[in-house]
Amino acid sequence: MDSKPPPQNPSSTSAPPPQSNGRDFLAHLESYLAKRDGVDKLLKISRYASKIILSSSLLPQSHPLYPRLKSFESSVGLSRKAFRLGKFVQDVNALRSAHLDSRHRAILAVLTYGGEGFYYFVEQFVWLSKSGLIDSRHSPGLQKVSAWAELIGYVGSISLKVIDLRGILEEEDWLRSRIEELQVAGGGAEKEAEKLRRLREKGLLKKLSIVQDIADGLMAAADVRDGKGALSGPLLLASAGLLSAVISTHKNWISC
């Protein structure tokens, strides 16, 4: 007797991101660099790679390149803030279009998109302060507010993605059972096998996204504590930032 599929989660049954297989590399690269997030994540890789070098013993402070690299890292950080102008709008739209099928999910969505959106909104004023248009004395307070908003956003985001991942894993289990039933019945499981393959790819991306949020959340927590306390070492945070940047670059690359 055929088993019934589990209740489908809207986020787990959507089509996986388009793959880049077979595409011309330069055309794909042009498409990637045309996106704001594409350039931003390349800048993020550059910044945190520089931070790793600066916070490790790879380059001594007496080396002539050290102050140049430090200036480069600071400049890239300011440039990334400029790239976030108006980015809070995407969180407003994401919240409007979110599948709020339960009170629990609605609360998490508000935390996720509300926290991240408010973070990007405040970051605009942090950039204006650091660039000199707003009095710099406001910068520490603005940075503290943005750090708290970012951390709240990551708490909600991780929670939502864990729920989505559970839905994906449940659907994977059902598909595996369905494939076994069809194979015993004499075949015809090719369609379900393809669905399972795509679902596994989606699950892998979801896992990577959770790891990315944890890494970014670690940095946000350190900002809230002004870089003090456990798990706030410069090398650890720089490594977390680089890990997040690489994962995000990979996701953006295969989705464009």
Q: What is the 3-state secondary structure (H, E, C) of 187-217?
A: CCCHHHHHHHHHHHHHHHHHHHHHHHHHHHH
User: What pLDDT is attached to residue 149?
Assistant: 97
| pLDDT over threshold 90, residue 187 | no
User: What pLDDT is attached to residue 207?
Assistant: 96
| pLDDT over threshold 80, residue 15 | no
For the record, the structure tokens of 17 come out as 């991101």
State the pLDDT confidence band at 21, using cuts at 50, 70 and 90.
Answer: low
State the pLDDT confidence band at 59, using cuts at 50, 70 and 90.
Answer: confident
Sequence-separated (6 or more) residues with CB below 8 Å from residue 16: 198, 201, 202, 205
Q: Select the highest-mean-pLDDT range: 12-21, 185-194, 208-217.
A: 208-217
pLDDT digits (tens, 9 = 90+) for 108-152: 999 999 999 999 999 999 999 988 899 888 999 999 999 999 999
Backbone torsions φ then ψ of 85, nearest 5 degrees: -60, 125
User: What pLDDT is attached to residue 227?
Assistant: 86
| pLDDT over threshold 50, residue 25 | yes
Distance (Å, rounded) from C-alpha 175 to C-alpha 161? 21
| pLDDT over threshold 80, residue 4 | no
This prediction has a pTM of 0.84
State the pLDDT confidence band at 7, using cuts at 50, 70 and 90.
Answer: very low
- 183-214 burial code (b ≥16 CB/10 A, e <16): eeeeeebeebeebbeebeebbebbebbbebbe
User: What pLDDT is attached to residue 22?
Assistant: 61
Provide the 3-class DSSP secondary structure of residue 6: coil
Distance (Å, rounded) from C-alpha 12 to C-alpha 167? 6
Least confident piece of the model among 100-104, 108-112, 159-163, 240-244: 100-104
State the pLDDT confidence band at 10, using cuts at 50, 70 and 90.
Answer: very low
User: What pLDDT is attached to residue 8?
Assistant: 45
| pLDDT over threshold 60, residue 156 | yes
- What's the one-letter identity of residue 90? Q
Over residues 91-116, the mean pLDDT reads: 91
| pLDDT over threshold 70, residue 72 | yes
User: What pLDDT is attached to residue 45?
Assistant: 96
